[in-house]
Amino acid sequence: MSISVKTFASSAEAASALSGDRTARFMGGGTLIMRAVNEGDQSFSTVVLANDPALKQVQPQGDRLIIGAGVTMAQILASRDLDFLHPVARAVGGPAIRNMATIGGNLFAEPPYGDMTAALLVLDCQVMLAGGQSAALADFLRDRAREPRTLVASVSIVRPQSGVFKFRKASRVKPKGVSLMTVAAWVPQSGGRVSGARIAYSSMGPTPMRVPAVEQALEGVALDEAGIANALAAATSGIEPPTDAIASSWYRREVAPVHLKRTLLGG
């Protein structure tokens, strides 16, 4: 099947083109769609592009940040406003990939990719669609397989206070490899006790996910070895980690508490 490419000046026009063509897919940086084109993917025949400058913008809005879906990992690394996301962006691919891969595209990445999405999950991310609707990231991820033609305009995240946001990607190849397991944590403390923790994993299921059992176990505890013991015991509670070329489900279960502990306490 041949591919046709349609380029639009605005994301609204691109979204309209996507909604009217079941065989269309939106392309941001190309790291997912061009890969599929090169593999001869027959599930789509039209590639939609948008040259909308709004897709490349980062804007503060109160205590939140609006990041255009077309912002690349390299742009994040060059932005002082997004310094808390630098460790996350640096964990994505090598320099060439980071010049291409976008934050919007990461929302569609299948495991073992999607490290940035795990971080966004704990940063209270709202996904803004080109049509003006918005959705909580967890809901967006639940529906993404059914809605491959969705055009994301931007993501809205909360800007963390120093020390609240933590991130760790574990991989078998150094310095860069695909994720064995990625952990993102939002652990605000009040009076020396964790209050309102959010924990997310990627590469531990079909999409990046929050881990409610760990979040509950962290509530009201001190962020030290004794305090997080119950959270570590619940590290894979309610989760069925995949077996793939990187690791078995058993192995992921065994190492999950180790990587969760390193994320929370460092080391």
Residues contributing to the site for another protein (CB under 8 A): 2-5, 7, 27, 30-31, 34-35, 37-39, 47, 49, 74, 93-97, 99-100, 175-176
Q: Which residues pair with 64 in a beta bridge?
A: 61, 158
Q: How far is the CB of 144 from another protein (least distance, A)?
A: 21
Name which of 94 and 266 has its Cβ closer to another protein. 94
Kindly give the residue spans of alpha helices, DSSP state H, lying in the chain.
11-19, 33-38, 73-77, 86-90, 95-100, 103-106, 115-122, 137-143, 212-218, 229-233, 249-265
Name which of 31 and 106 has its Cβ closer to another protein. 31
Q: Which residues of 40-50 are buried (b: 16+ CB within 10 A; e: fewer)?
A: eeeebebbbbb
Q: How far is the CB of 97 from another protein (least distance, A)?
A: 6
Name which of 11 and 126 has its Cβ closer to another protein. 11
Q: How far is the CB of 148 from another protein (least distance, A)?
A: 17
CA distance 123 to 125: 5
Name which of 34 and 222 has its Cβ closer to another protein. 34
Q: How far is the CB of 44 from another protein (least distance, A)?
A: 10
Nearest to 110 by CA among 211, 33, 28, 200: 33
The full length of the chain comes to: 267
Name which of 97 and 138 has its Cβ closer to another protein. 97
Q: How far is the CB of 125 from another protein (least distance, A)?
A: 25
DSSP 103-147: HHHHTTPPTT--HHHHHHHHTT-EEEETTS-EEEHHHHHHHTTT-
* Cβ atoms 6, 17 nearer than 8 A: yes
Q: How far is the CB of 29 from another protein (least distance, A)?
A: 8
Name which of 27 and 200 has its Cβ closer to another protein. 27
